[in-house]
Chains A and B, each alone.
Chain A
Amino acid sequence: MVSFLARRLTLAIPVLLGILFVTFALSRLLPGDPCRSALGEHATDEICDAFNERYGLNDSIPEQFRIYINDVLHGDLGDSIRFGRPVDELMVERLPVTVELSFYAMLFAVLVGIPLGMVSAYYHNSAADVGTMIGANIGVSMPVFWLGLMLSYVFGVALKDTPLWLPPSGRLTAGVSIQPFYEAWGWNVNPDTLTFSGFLANINTLNAVLVGDWAGLRDALKHMILPAIALGTIPLAIIARMTRSSLLEVLGMNYVRTARAKGVRESQVVLKHAFRNAMLPVVTIIGLSLGSLLSGAVLTETIFGLSGVGRILYDSITGRDYTVVQAFTLIIAVIFVFINLIVDTLYAYLDPRIRLE
């Protein structure tokens, strides 16, 4: 297992280099002059000369690539033209929002989707199965924005003043704030260089747990419910369908028959012998869904007033804020590489045949 991990990590290095190259090329290959596309009508030749000098655009391409890699490795992602701030600051602010949202959406999808799929498979062709699968088919075909709007209308507006009301926008109720854990723990963190601590502190629910602010946790979670459901519904439906078909297949396998013939209790036959095998394709699907989650996150963040990666990417692309686009593309790609790594590792853990290659 350790050697498997080592091998996978080594394999990730060329992929990461490739990603660096692509994000680098992305900014150089964009049509038009970067100066003029960035500055628009304000760009005079003089300004553009200074601009090119400042961003190193007069250097040779390999030299530019070397500088870019060097900057990235030193955590220098450049400045946003639109916000006039360093991109890493923006990232510490925005990335946690999306990470948190995606996490809860996936958690919801997995915790509900897998049991639903299992019940469907075990009682296949029953009313429960047919109902679940109809629901799943509706789920996958439901547009995220429509579901998001419906949820925020029903729970945020129609159910106002009832105990079922849920906040339809934002991350915390106005006036509520959770003290960053590094402050509470008396860590001497300079807010300008706070990158990783700041990142963690901005994941509200995690931060609330770290500082033991249960009221804050409650508030943050409450704000998460609707967006997580909106974003998690499609993956939920996909996971439920995959779990069902996979478990159905596995339940017909010879080794399941063996388990029963050995005198294994039926619950154990399903939860132990069949489950682990049935989860193999489901793990793959979960990994793939995380990819599509991001496109859903743009819409979800917009509907629920969350300033996450989706929002800033959208704004930066329309606003031609290329440093931001480049940096966020890079970070998203890196996150993908690591998610894939986790999925592969989980897969290898579940299936010993994979470990050998």
Chain B
Amino acid sequence: MTDKNDNNGTSSVMQAADNSPLLQVSDLRTYFFTREGTVKAVDGVSFTVRKGEVRGIVGESGCGKSMTAMSILRLIDKPGRIVSGEVLFKGQNLRKMSRREMTAIRGKHISVIFQEPRSSLNPVFKVGNQLVEVLRIHKGGKRKAQREEAVELLREVGIPDPGRRISNYPHEMSGGMAQRVMIAMGMACAPDLLIADEPTTALDVTIQAQVLDLIRQLRDDHRMAVILITHDMGIVAEMADIVTVMYAGASVEEAETEALFENPLHPYTQGLIASIPVMGEVKERLDVIPGTVPDLIDMPPGCRFAPRCRARVEHGLTQCEIEEPHMIEAEPGHSVRCWLYEGEKTS
């Protein structure tokens, strides 16, 4: 983690030095105020993304990954609200931007692709028009030129016969094709950051690999940063440079991919890695980690993982259920939120 955004100042933020973070999320909290109570969907997430880097965010379904992404773009709908935290993009605080400024960022500087590509495209408009719309909003120019550019974009994401496909409606496309269209839409303005929220979860395995290859290739070609959200440790291992592990709304571990897989510190991460399916075998649940994610309304007071944590029992830790552990750098560049390591340091 770096904390040099202060000396970035407000001028020339757009040409921020290459090693300063492109995106810096600190202690983000997004709550949903429902009738049943406050759902703490995102509750203390921090990470940075550098230019050209693939940042993996991994965790079980429902742990707040998508809401983290939506919070970055300020796309949280009622009854949800970002209650605290900071999102600095090229040094500018997105949370303080006007609606209009935010609209100008979306799709131009930061784009998203979603899990369900087919339902993420509007069924009543041709995919070409949906693609051209991005160009029209953010780039302007002549209609004809935009159309040609759209065809080019479709070609770049590997859609065969793009001149014809541009007139297709979403229902005339397969999931894989639709996801390529979504990616083309995301790439249209050559954004600095692409957020891919489970981009391949709804696709079958061969298509999955193709889409991941495409994302990687576009990252290489455009030096674009990627936040890759997934529940699949296999995809993380393959794609990410650096990983944030989330559990029940909070980040619990962060490390470079290799370090994380070689030496997972958090008991939850250890369970995740042990649960990676072997040889294409699909596992829906984390069999090696008994129990389920706690209710985000009634969070346990101490460590959120405590009810499922075997390490706690094995090490006879009593603090876990009383006080929440803090994110600490247990090893250089490797942070974890767990009393196993915090205790070590303080004692």
Residue numbers of A with Cβ under 8 A of B are: 253-255, 257-266, 273, 276-277, 350-353
Known: A257-B75, A257-B114, A352-B171. Is A262-B185 also a contact (CB below 8 A)? yes
Alpha-carbon separation in the docked complex, A352 to B134 (Å): 21
In the assembled complex, the CB of A231 is this many whole angstroms from the nearest CB of chain B, namely 31
Question: Which A residues lie within 8 Å of B134 (CB)?
Answer: 262-263
- Inter-chain contact B137/A262, CB cutoff 8 Å: yes
In the assembled complex, the CB of A12 is this many whole angstroms from the nearest CB of chain B, namely 25
In the assembled complex, the CB of B159 is this many whole angstroms from the nearest CB of chain A, namely 18
Known: A258-B114, A261-B107. Is A277-B122 also a contact (CB below 8 A)? yes
In the assembled complex, the CB of B202 is this many whole angstroms from the nearest CB of chain A, namely 11
Question: Which A residues lie within 8 Å of B123 (CB)?
Answer: 255, 277, 351-353
Does residue B321 face the partner (Cβ distance < 8 Å to A)?
no
Question: Which B residues lie within 8 Å of A260 (CB)?
Answer: 75, 106
Alpha-carbon separation in the docked complex, A353 to B171 (Å): 7
Question: Which A residues lie within 8 Å of B114 (CB)?
Answer: 254, 257-258
Would you give 24 A-B contacts (Cβ < 8 Å), ordered by A?
A255-B119, A255-B122, A255-B123, A257-B75, A257-B120, A258-B114, A258-B121, A258-B122, A258-B185, A259-B122, A261-B111, A262-B106, A262-B134, A263-B108, A263-B134, A263-B138, A264-B133, A265-B103, A265-B137, A266-B99, A273-B122, A277-B123, A277-B124, A353-B123
From the candidates A258, A263, A264, A277, name the one contacting B120 in the complex (CB within 8 A).
A258
Question: Which B residues lie within 8 Å of A265 (CB)?
Answer: 103, 137
Alpha-carbon separation in the docked complex, A263 to B186 (Å): 11
Does residue B116 face the partner (Cβ distance < 8 Å to A)?
yes
Alpha-carbon separation in the docked complex, A111 to B120 (Å): 30
In the assembled complex, the CB of B289 is this many whole angstroms from the nearest CB of chain A, namely 30
In the assembled complex, the CB of A48 is this many whole angstroms from the nearest CB of chain B, namely 62
From the candidates B105, B116, B122, B124, name the one contacting A263 in the complex (CB within 8 A).
B105
Scan B93-107; emit 1 where CB is below 8 A from any A CB, else 0: 000000100011111
Identify the closest chain A residue to B108 (Cβ): A263
Identify the closest chain A residue to B131 (Cβ): A262
Question: Which B residues lie within 8 Å of A264 (CB)?
Answer: 103, 107, 133, 137
Alpha-carbon separation in the docked complex, A260 to B133 (Å): 12
Alpha-carbon separation in the docked complex, A257 to B70 (Å): 10
- Inter-chain contact A263/B103, CB cutoff 8 Å: yes
> Given contacts A259-B122, A264-B107, A351-B124, could you give 20 more A-B pairs where the C-beta distance is less than 8 Å?
A254-B114, A254-B116, A255-B122, A257-B114, A258-B112, A258-B114, A260-B75, A261-B73, A261-B75, A261-B112, A263-B105, A263-B137, A264-B137, A265-B103, A273-B122, A276-B125, A351-B123, A352-B171, A353-B123, A353-B171
Question: Which B residues lie within 8 Å of A276 (CB)?
Answer: 124-125
In the assembled complex, the CB of B131 is this many whole angstroms from the nearest CB of chain A, namely 10
Question: Which A residues lie within 8 Å of B108 (CB)?
Answer: 263
Alpha-carbon separation in the docked complex, A257 to B112 (Å): 10
Identify the closest chain B residue to A252 (Cβ): B77
Question: Which A residues lie within 8 Å of B124 (CB)?
Answer: 276-277, 350-352
Question: Which A residues lie within 8 Å of B261 (CB)?
Answer: none
Top 7 A-B pairs, shortest CB-CB distance: A263-B107, A262-B107, A263-B106, A255-B122, A254-B119, A352-B169, A254-B120
Alpha-carbon separation in the docked complex, A30 to B121 (Å): 56
Alpha-carbon separation in the docked complex, A258 to B197 (Å): 12
In the assembled complex, the CB of A118 is this many whole angstroms from the nearest CB of chain B, namely 17
Identify the closest chain B residue to A264 (Cβ): B137
In the assembled complex, the CB of B36 is this many whole angstroms from the nearest CB of chain A, namely 16
Query: Which residue of A253, A261, A353 has the most chain B CB atoms within 10 A of its CB atom?
Result: A261
Identify the closest chain A residue to B111 (Cβ): A261
In the assembled complex, the CB of B342 is this many whole angstroms from the nearest CB of chain A, namely 38
Report B27-74 residues with CB < 8 Å from chain A CB.
73
Report B153-192 residues with CB < 8 Å from chain A CB.
169, 171, 182, 185
Question: Which B residues lie within 8 Å of A258 (CB)?
Answer: 112, 114, 120-122, 182, 185
In the assembled complex, the CB of A278 is this many whole angstroms from the nearest CB of chain B, namely 10
Alpha-carbon separation in the docked complex, A217 to B169 (Å): 45
Question: Which B residues lie within 8 Å of A257 (CB)?
Answer: 75, 114, 120
Question: Which A residues lie within 8 Å of B107 (CB)?
Answer: 261-264
In the assembled complex, the CB of B185 is this many whole angstroms from the nearest CB of chain A, namely 7
Question: Which B residues lie within 8 Å of A277 (CB)?
Answer: 122-124
Query: Which residue of A263, A350, A353 has the most chain B CB atoms within 10 A of its CB atom?
Result: A263
Question: Which A residues lie within 8 Å of B119 (CB)?
Answer: 253-255
Alpha-carbon separation in the docked complex, A259 to B137 (Å): 11
Question: Which A residues lie within 8 Å of B116 (CB)?
Answer: 254
